[in-house]
Chains A and B, each alone.
Chain A
Amino acid sequence: MTITNFEIAIEKVNKNMLFQGQTLEVLQDIDLSIKNQEIVSIIGPSGCGKSTLLNIIAGLDNPDAGAISFQGFNQEERLGSVSYMQQKDLLFPWRTVLENISLSLEIKGISKKDSVEICRKYLSEFQLDKFEKNLPHTLSGGMRQRVAFLRTLLTDSEILLLDEPFGALDALTRRNLYVWFMKLLENNPRTVVLVTHDVEEAIFLSDRIILLSQRPGKVQLTEEVSFERPRTHDIIAHPDFVSLKLRLLDRLNEGGDE
């Protein structure tokens, strides 16, 4: 019964991958339990298997050993039950903003009339309604990413998997988007797994940070982030924020210098 408290439970996941004729151990004995509506960041040196882990949770890939369960139920077939977003906004260039965010509703077979109604509600809630008929190429990078966030949210699953969603944006746009994203989650609570290489971003956005080691990726460190929500920009200067950041950067560099 206790296990059902966890939205996502990852147990002893191992993953090997074939790369240029060699078998690489990418993930090793990953154990991770994520509570309902918790925001967990996964950070680590590049090549540590963060994205692979996310792909496995999404169901795009399968572990060689171990199990994934959602709400206590073992999930062999996970495609279609989690929302997944990448660094590339992947907006379909031939679809308008409205048509892009209604994509998942379409896939689920919801009628056009209903899905337009649902999407319009979200667009106006986040002041994107005047862009609903725009094609993606007419929007700025930050706008496109907002649309991509809304599309991800409208997939309407309890779990959001985000693979460096802020990675392609400039620093200012990114900061604005953090606050926007927090508001989005405030109004539409979800369980979030965020992969990032940016320590500050991880602290600012998450309740808990998981540091993966250099390949083969293992859970090296877990840190709780205790700042109250909703958070504001000024926590970046808070002593706890700074010391946590230094601690994480230290450990990150240890692994990286190897």
Chain B
Amino acid sequence: MNKNKFIDSIPSIFIVLSVFVLWEILVHIQDIPTWLLPAPSEIFKSLYLDFPKLFEHTLVTLQEILIGFLVALIFGFLIASGIGLSTTLEKSLYPFLISLQTIPIIVIAPMLLVWIGYGLLPKIIVVALISFFPIVVNTADGMKSLDIDMKRLLLTMGANNWQIFRKIMIPSSLPYLFSGVRIAVSISVIGAVIGEWVGSSEGLGYLMIRSKPQFHTELVFAAIFILSAIGIGLFLLVGFLEKLVIPWSRYENSTE
């Protein structure tokens, strides 16, 4: 199993390595200055040399991502439950949700700064806003997609609506919830950076806007590498949790 996993990941490792090698060669051949485009070797050097600084800012950003994401998950699940339970709520909430999604975060973020001020809270709100939508829409879809015959079965057992919600709607929405969460964790990283971009004194986004005008481009890229690593790490973590929490979901289709 583990050996197979390793073999499966060989192509992607190969692609990443080739990109790095090509990039390195290009920078050297074309003699591109580091402030314009640092070679991967420069970036890794920066990752190593500036590790304490990067680590400190990473912790701040990670904190924003995790809290913001959890807020999105909780509210997303609650609102999806409302949509699943009531058609009236579904009809009245959806336009609001869609308009929420179409508001450019890049415009809202500075406003939040004005309304709430600096600090952790506005970043959490930006992260939550950006990752909220895929969670709500997917989970609500899951709640709506329950097997009608299962519901009828519970009805003949004398179940009430709350029991149907708990015993069918929630479990059948979980696979959908997880695919929403997978999308949400990757974009929540963007949310944190946007939140920091418009005004902050710490975090990877802050480090990037501070390093750019100082021509520490290698530090900007080091931060980007860390952000991708966070994104990939969270994505894998969600996949792992999914297997743990809903081991049955991969077989669900074969049961019909």
> Which residues of A approach B to under 8 Å, CB–CB?
58-60, 79-84, 86, 88, 90-94, 103-104, 106-108, 135-137, 155
Contact = CB atoms under 8 A, between A and B. Distances in A.
B154 interface: yes
B158 interface: yes
A90 B149 contact: yes
Contacts of A137: 248, 251-252, 254-255
A86 B256 CA distance: 13
Main secondary structure of the interface of A (DSSP, over half): loop
A13 to B, nearest CB: 18
A103 B167 contact: yes
B147 interface: yes
7 nearest A-B pairs in the assembled complex, by CB-CB distance: A80-B158, A137-B251, A84-B156, A93-B248, A104-B157, A94-B171, A107-B157
B149 A155 contact: no
A94 B248 contact: yes
Contacts of A135: 247-248, 251
B114 to A, nearest CB: 46
B18 interface: no
B149 to A, nearest CB: 6
Nearest to A79: B155
Nearest to A88: B149
A121 B132 CA distance: 47
A91 B255 contact: yes
B166 to A, nearest CB: 10
Interface residues of B, number: 25
Contacts of B150: 90, 92
Contacts of B28: none
Contacts of A93: 248-249, 251-252, 255
A94 B169 CA distance: 12
Contacts of A103: 154, 157, 167
15 contacts: A60-B156, A79-B155, A79-B156, A79-B158, A83-B157, A86-B149, A91-B255, A93-B251, A93-B252, A103-B167, A107-B158, A135-B247, A136-B255, A137-B254, A155-B156
A90 B254 CA distance: 13
Contact of A92 (B158, B171, B249, B254): B171
A59 B158 CA distance: 10
Contacts of A94: 171, 174, 246, 248-249
Nearest to B160: A107
Contacts of B155: 59-60, 79
A244 B6 CA distance: 65
A59 B156 contact: yes
Contact of B156 (A58, A91, A106, A108): A58
